[in-house]
Homo-oligomer: A and B are copies of this chain.
Amino acid sequence: MPELRKDPIVDRWVIIADNRGKRPQDYALAPQRSSGRLCPFCEGNESETPGEVAAVRDPSSPRNGPGWKVRVVPNKYPAVLPDQGDPVGDGGVAWCDAQPGRGIHEVIIESPRHVTSLTQLSLEEICLVLRIYRQRFRELALRGDVSSTMLFKNMGAAAGASLEHIHSQLIALPTIPTLLAAELNGAAAYHEKWEACIFCDMRSWEQRLPRQVLLTERYTAWCPFASRFAYETWILPNRHASHWESISDEEIVDLASVLKRVLSAVEQAVRPPAYNVVFHSAPLTSPALPHYHWHIEVLPALARAAGFEWGSGYHINPVYPEQAARELRETLQNPHQNEVKAIRQTEAKGERLPMP
């Protein structure tokens, strides 16, 4: 049964989740499951996953059968579970702080086809994926028993993926994780001092700096000043908004194009492609915040943390962000103007599946 444990000395939390596998060897870095074997995420194999909690599908298709575009299912090997009793812990030892491993762990299966990257999806398909992300955040916010949601994609074995079929995961917790709490604190301190959102200020500053990767009407992407990883890239909406789930349908179409362009450029720079995509958003339960700004972090997995990083807490990045941004800009695709236009026309006509 999962359990959260805090290190007795430093502010570091661990989720001990033995239900993620009888044998940890199942999670070794290398064994990307080959597409020749039964893929539990392919259309037709719906019985291989737990029953779906949401889907975009043809209204005439049966639940947990074929006929879908995007499917959301509980993770078969969850890191947290909704109903968890008291933790085992150490019972009575002062420094052993343990909490139940309570929460929601879901998998978003992003295509019925056996593709591996968001860049292999059409813009319209990416829009469906982003809409279902938004829908999950909105539904989870209504539950009342979770405070935060981490939405993330592990792409490629080197980035921690165990299945190659395109998917993302979300883990919703009753707590605010350490890093989100640190971001909220840092951003609040800046706001107190300067009466401004640090992300908005960074965005307007980066638009004039060589770390910028892309600038559209609605989004800015850049390699951050203190990038932890080579080719690390952040995507921010130009409009201030603390909550990802406040995104509009219009904004989703543009984000689909920006995300596809950024990921395509990262996949040129990082070969074989391996990266994490992480959505950073204010707590589900908080009101709109003037100091926090939702954003997406793309974190390539070229060289990853080793002894020095785990020992010091410092990262080592072998590529200057200014250099990374230059390389990414050089391989950037054109905006998907025709596709965007086509999606807007279809939307105007209302000729679509029931949409999340």
A interface residues, Cβ below 8 angstroms from B: 4-18, 20-21, 24-25, 27-30, 79, 90, 93, 95-96, 150, 152-154, 158-161, 169, 171, 177-180, 182-183, 186-187, 190, 198, 201-202, 205, 209, 224-228, 230-231, 271, 274, 276-280, 297, 299, 301-308, 310-321, 323
* Contact of A321 with B16 at beta-carbon distance under 8 Å, contacts A177-B312, A303-B27 already known: yes
Residue pair A20, B198 in contact (C-beta under 8 Å): no
A277-B316 in contact (CB<8A): no
Which B residues are in CB contact (< 8 Å) with A154? 306-307
- CB-nearest residue of chain B relative to A4? B314
Tell which of B226, B312, B317 touches A150, judged by Cβ atoms closer than 8 Å: B312
Q: How far apart sit A209 and B299, CA to CA, in the bound complex (Å)?
A: 39
Q: How far is the CB of A328 from chain B (nearest CB, A)?
A: 13
Minimum CB–CB distance for A266 against chain B, Å: 12
Closest B residue to A307 using CB positions = B152
Give the docked Cα–Cα distance between A7 and B202 (Å). 12
**Do A308 and B226 contact each other (CB < 8 Å), given the known contacts A95-B198, A202-B8?**
no
Please give, as numbers and ranges, the residues of chain B lying within 8 Å of A180 by CB-CB distance: 311-313
Q: Could you tell me if B311 and A8 are in contact, using CB atoms closer than 8 angstroms?
A: no
Q: A24 to chain B: which residues have CB within 8 Å? A: 230-231, 302-303, 318-319
User: Contacting A302 at CB < 8 Å: which of B25, B95, B307?
Assistant: B25
Q: Which 9 A-B pairs have the closest CB atoms?
A: A160-B306, A152-B307, A179-B313, A178-B313, A177-B312, A278-B311, A276-B307, A27-B303, A9-B186
Copies of this protein in the complex = 2
Residues of B with C-beta under 8 A to A202: 8, 95
Complex CA gap A276/B279 in Å reads 29
Q: What's the Cα separation between A24 and B307 when bound, in Å?
A: 18
Q: Which residues of B contact A308 (CB under 8 A)?
A: 79, 150, 152, 169, 171
Which of B8, B20, B159, B226 meets A14, CB within 8 Å?
Answer: B226
Q: How far is the CA of A323 from the CA of B93 in the complex (A)?
A: 19
Choice from B13, B160, B312 contacting A314 with Cβ under 8 Å: B13
Distance between A170 CB and nearest chain B CB, rounded to angstroms: 9
Contacts A13-B314, A178-B314 supplied; 4 other A-B pairs, CB < 8 Å:
A7-B226, A18-B323, A20-B316, A25-B302
Q: Which residue, of A274, A305, A311, has the highest number of chain B Cβ atoms within 10 A?
A: A311
Establish whether residues A10 and B198, one from each chain, have CB atoms under 8 Å apart when the complex forms. Answer: no
How long is the Cα–Cα vector from A225 to B6 in the complex, in angstroms?
Answer: 8
Q: Are A25 and B323 in contact, CB atoms less than 8 angstroms apart?
A: no
A168 to chain B, nearest CB (A): 8
Do residues A11 and B310 form an inter-chain contact, with CB atoms below 8 A?
no
Q: How far is the CA of A60 from the CA of B184 in the complex (A)?
A: 62
Output the least CB separation between A232 and chain B (Å): 9
Q: How far is the CA of A318 from the CA of B90 in the complex (A)?
A: 18
